Amino acid sequence: NAGVMQNPRHLVRRRGQEARLRCSPMKGHSHVYWYRQLPEEGLKFMVYLQKENIIDESGMPKERFSAEFPKEGPSILRIQQVVRGDSAAYFCASEGARSYGYTFGSGTRLTVV
């Protein structure tokens, strides 16, 4: 079991470009969560998805951010028209059953220049 796989590990985008971050959950896990860690800040919940469904997106900024978890393939966090304030580490976590806790990926570090 390769664990939660995130790619790319590092991503550099110019202001105004789009950023696409991918997450493949652990085998057998159908719940995916995205978190953002800003410099000197704690991890903040962004969105919770199951296959083909957004369950809770209460932590997502209202504009430019979207997430999906299609029937086939990884979950995608998409940031349109990136700004410098989007620079952060974005972590994905998956969960099989509540009693076993979360497993996190290694994160994608986004730098907007």
Partner 1 sequence: KQEVTQIPAALSVPEGENLVLNCSFTDSAIYNLQWFRQDPGKGLTSLLLIQSSQREQTSGRLNASLDKSSGRSTLYIAASQPGDSATYLCAVINGDGGGADGLTFGKGTHLIIQP
Minimum CB separation from partner 1 for residue 110, in Å? 13
Q: Which residues bind partner 1 (CB under 8 A)?
A: 6, 33, 35, 41-45, 48, 55-56, 59, 91, 93, 98-107, 109
- How far, in Å, CA of 75 to CA of 53, rounded? 11
Residue 94 sits at the vertex; the CA angle it makes with 11 and 15, to the nearest 5 degrees, is 20
Q: Which is nearer to partner 1, 35 or 65 (CB)?
A: 35
Give yes or no for a contact between 86 and 38, defined as CB atoms under 8 angstroms apart: no
Which is closer to partner 1, CB of 55 or CB of 113? 55
